[in-house]
Structure 1
Amino acid sequence: MPYLMSAVLGAALLCFAVLGLRARRAGGPLDDYVTARNSQGAQTLGLSFLASGMGAWILFAPPEIGAFVGPLALAGYAIGSALPFIVLGLYGPAIRRRLPEGRSIGEFAEACYGVGVRRWVSLVSILYMACFLAAELTAIGSITALLSDVPPGLVIIGVAVTTLLYTAVGGLRASLATDRWQAWLLIALLLVVGGVALVRLPAMPDAAALPSVPVGSALGVALTLIIAVTAANLFHQGYWQRVWAARDDRALGRGAWLGGGTTVLVVALVGGLGMLAAMSGVALGEPPIPFFALLSQAPGWLSLPALVLAVTLVASSVDTLQNGIASLVVAGSGRRGLAIRGARWVTLALMVPVVVVALQGLSVLRLFLIADLLCAAIVVPVLLGLWRRMSPLAAVAGGVAGMAGAVLPGWMVQGSLTAGLVAASFPGGVPTLPPFLGALVASTLVSVSIAWGRPACRQAHR
């Protein structure tokens, strides 16, 4: 069985590599490598948003939220997962008009506020995407250990090397080409795996009820997830690339709604499986993993399509992240050969520590939450860049206020700055609302207040 699983996983990765390499345009301009500008229709974009946003995290987090917090919090998670696409679909046409030749979130920040803010925003974006990469590769290692006897390290390295190969050679077009097929594959596999697992689910006990917590607590979890996931994913350079890859504003809008709608359905479906597992009385494990608890009741052969599903989910998100990091490195250069070589080496260098972290099997949830909080602290000042009254002072002050606002709730409740800093670092890896809400409210109030009080002059970079 290990040899069969290894062969099937190797074949899947080989197919992804072939699809990506076939999509490359040898000798094309740098702009085509980074943005595939004005070339993609609504369906391709929608499937790409779905595939690039869906990672192995959907097999862990939504089922656990559904099993222990209930449908209200799960709805918040589904909305938060889709909202970044909708925001970029609505806001993207204005970005395209403001920066018709733009390539990255960093260039957007520079056009609005200058080079200093660009470096800050690019650093946050790279930090977030590196955390995302480590989380995805760690997850595929854990899933491999759960479902097979294949060495987890072999799968981690296989996914990292394969995706790096075709994204380094083919750029964004390679990622878009594989996303289209990966989206259909993950939908099909999810329906097969979920359907078979449900058929073999034990009969519901008479006292079965939907998992729930008090409404106030469920709303708090839902709001926390919406803020954290939306703020962080708006710093995902892979999603910004697709703003300029869209054929026109209509294709961008329709693709964003398609990607957002299908994302809500997928997250709700997987989370619903977690709720059903809890209601049926199946042992959820320690730590609890409701989705995989369902598989323990299913036929043994189901482990193979479940593992292929996991590899597809991870590959579809990892290739987008790798290409997003590379595009941030080359976005400011006009020399194709030198810029692309530099981007490949930088991405490869960044992947080394990411893979090392993933091979340790450590939890990266706490680091992920800290990166999410950093994004929440500055997302509003960045997105306000198209407002003519905004200035670099308002943006920077808003970002600093956002970080202070993240610490303030814990400081006020526990009476010390140290306690506030600890609370904002999420001890135990548990997401809580006050730091995120404090960051969002403080950054917005300070940015808007300074912009109204001291509106921007017509600076050269505008």
Structure 2
Amino acid sequence: MLYLSIAALAAVLLLFVWIGLRSRGQEALDDFVTARNSQSSWAIGLSFLASGMGGWILFAPPEVGVLVGPLGLAGYAVGAALPFLVFALCGPAIRRRLPEGRSIGEFAQHCYGLGVRRWVGLISLLYMACFLIAELTAIGAITSMLSDINGNLVVVGVALTTLIYTAWGGLRASMTTDRWQGWLLIALLLLVGGVAMTRLPSIKADAVLPSIPASAAFGVALTLIIAVTAANLFHQGYWQRLWAARDESALGRGAVIGGVATVLVVAAVGGLGILTLMSGADVGSPPIPFFAMLHDAPGWLSLPALLLAITLVASSVDTLQNAIVSLAVTEKQGLSLSAARWFTLLLMIPVVILALQGNSVLRLFLIADLLCATAVVPVLLGLWSRMTPAAAILGGLAGLVGALLPGWITTGSLYQGLLIASFPNAIPTLGPFIGALLTSTLVSIICALLLPARRPQTAH
């Protein structure tokens, strides 16, 4: 079984390499990072789905479903899909404003100037680096749980194989493999979930859904919606797809397709966790219900489950690799295509080293999410003609202060407010996110109304 698992994993990864290398686009830097105006609505939709999914969906949605119940799971599903709706609504205006744009940083500079661009680029880079490390860490842990294969070898294998086709083919290679990975992950999820559920004990008539008090569940749901939505709006991979769409119509339809598919996948995986708990199965502590569901399943099912995990992780890792490179080359004017490829290679060395440590990055994720929440509204308000650089900067600074306010007011200590906003127990809490979002929005709007309307003339 060990050798069969190794052969199957190698075959799937080599398939992704083959597909990616065959889809290499033009030998031009702009095509490498944007694949401009080339993708249909279905290509955009499947790419949004595959690039947004990752190994995290096998852990987080089932755990939220078990600990919080359906309301918390619904919040997670909506939060994962809501950024696509934002791109569907705001994307056409952004494309008209910046027809030759390539990054969230360029949009920020167009609206506010170079200083805001640097800050936005730093937040985006921090978030994506956390995401990338978390995904590679996850595949190492999943491999160790489902097989006798050394998880570290799979971490290196995924990093190298995705690196081959993203460094060579750029965004076109990532989006082509996304289409295959999107359909493959749906098929494997149906197979693994369907077979495993038939082997769980029957749910008793008096079984009740897992839940916590409604007010607490609503708080968790709202926290997840704000955190996940704000963070994903700084995902450069999603911004690349904004310009990759063939036209505004393809972008809108693709965003809707990706959003609906994401809601269904997150809800399905989380629902499997809830049903596993209701069947009386031991989900562990901390709970890992998706893997507990496989405990009594046929032994052969661990291989499709491992292939599902590989597909999920590869689909997000290749997107993040190209997205980080895209952000870097748009920040560094005059960088060549060859230099961009070398940057892709060098980027993965520290990422793999950190992923091999097997550390939890949930707390870093939450801090990065909170940073995104402090800036997301001021950035998007750049589409409003009244907004100025000063209003955006003051709004972002107010968001940082607002993140500390709930804990500061509750405890009477600034230090405690800072500690609470750093999520010491790696548990998402609503206060810092609400504080960041409300204060950044209010200060941005008030300053925009009071200060003279003025836009910098910037090159991009």
Q: TM-score, normalised by structure 2?
A: 0.98
CA displacement, residues 110-141 of structure 1 (integer Å, 9 cap, x when unaligned): 10011111111111111100000011011101
Whether 1:97 and 2:96 are equivalent positions in the alignment is yes
Deviation, 1:100, is: 0.4
Residues 275-354 of structure 1: pairs in structure 2 closer than 5 A: 275-331=274-330, 338-354=335-351
Quote the offset at 1:287 in angstroms.
Answer: 2.2
* Alignment partner, residue 204 of structure 1: 203
Deviations 1:60-119 (A, max 9, x none): 000011112111111110000000111011100000000000000010001001111111
In 1, Cα distance between equivalents of 2:113 and 2:158? 37
Question: Is the CA contact (8 Å cut-off) linking 2:25 and 2:35 kept in structure 1?
Answer: no
Could you tell me which amino acid in structure 2 is paired with residue 24 of structure 1? R
CA distance in structure 2 between the partners assigned to 1:221 and 1:445 by the alignment: 23
C-alpha distance in 2 between matches for 1:263 and 1:455: 42
Q: Relative to structure 1, is the Cα distance of residues 456 and 339 closer, same or farther in structure 2, using a 3 angstrom cutoff?
A: farther
Aligned residues: 459
Amino acid at match of 1:405: G
- The one-character-per-residue Cα deviations of 1:369-405 (angstroms, maximum 9, x if unpaired) are 0000000000000001111111111111111110110
Distance 1:412 1:343 in 2: 47
2:181 is paired with a residue whose SS is: helix
Comparing 348-357 with 167-176, greater Cα deviation is found at 348-357
Is the Cα contact below 8 Å between 2:192 and 2:305 reproduced in 1? yes
Aligned-partner Cα distance in 1 for 2:152–2:244: 34
What percent of counterpart residues are identical? Answer: 69
Distance between the aligned counterparts of 1:351 and 1:155, measured in 2? Answer: 14
User: How far apart, in 2, do the equivalents of 1:147 and 1:241 lie?
Assistant: 34
Q: Note if contact 2:388-2:455 (Cα within 8 Å) is conserved in structure 1.
A: no
Identify unmatched segments of 5+ residues in structure 1. Answer: none
What secondary structure, in the 3-state scheme, does the structure 2 residue paired with 1:271 have?
A: helix
| Structure 2 residue 356 is the aligned partner of structure 1 residue 359 | yes
Equivalences for residues 204-283 of structure 1 within 5 A = 204-283=203-282
The residue aligned with 2:389 is 392
Q: Shift of the alpha carbon at 1:334?
A: 6.8
| Rounded Cα–Cα distance in structure 2 between residues aligned with 1:110 and 1:459 | 9
- Separation in structure 2 between the aligned mates of residue 257 and residue 425 of structure 1, nearest angstrom: 34
**RMSD, aligned α-carbons:** 1.2
Deviations 1:44-75 (A, max 9, x none): 00000000001010000000111121111111
448, 453, 457: which one pairs with 1:456?
A: 453
> Following superposition of structure 1 onto structure 2, how do residues 111-130 of structure 1 map, counting pairs within 5 Å?
111-130=110-129
Amino acid at match of 2:109: E
Counterpart in the other structure of 1:109: 108
Q: Does 1:441 align with 2:438?
A: yes
Which of 408, 430, 436 pairs up with 1:411?
408
| Secondary structure in structure 2 of the residue aligned to 1:266 | helix
Q: Are the counterparts in 2 of residues 282 and 293 from structure 1 also a CA contact under 8 Å?
A: yes
Please give the per-residue CA displacement for 1:189-247, whole angstroms capped at 9, x wherever unaligned.
00000000111010112321111111100100000000000000000000000000111
Q: Which residue of 1 aligns with 2:419?
A: 422
Aligned match of 1:34 = 33
**Contact 1:197/1:294 (CA < 8 Å) preserved in 2?**
yes
Asked if the contact 1:390–1:455 (Cα under 8 Å) also holds between the matched residues in 2, the reply is: no
Partner Cα distance (1:315, 1:227) in 2? 26
Letter in 2 for 1:235: F
Distance 1:171 1:12 in 2: 20
- Structure 2 CA distance for aligned equivalents of residues 347 and 423 of structure 1: 36
In the alignment, what sits opposite 1:6?
6
CA–CA separation in structure 2 for the residues paired with 1:46 and 1:457: 37
- Give the equivalent residue in structure 1 for 2:18: 18
Is contact 2:112–2:455 with CA below 8 Å preserved after alignment? no
Match for 2:24: what amino acid? R
SS in 2 for 1:412: helix
**Deviation, structure 1 residue 340:** 2.3
1:116-155 to structure 2, matched below 5 A, reads 116-155=115-154
| TM-score normalised by structure 1 residue count | 0.98
CA contact (8 A) 1:333 1:339 kept: no
Structure-2 change in CA distance of 1:431 and 1:334 (3 Å): closer
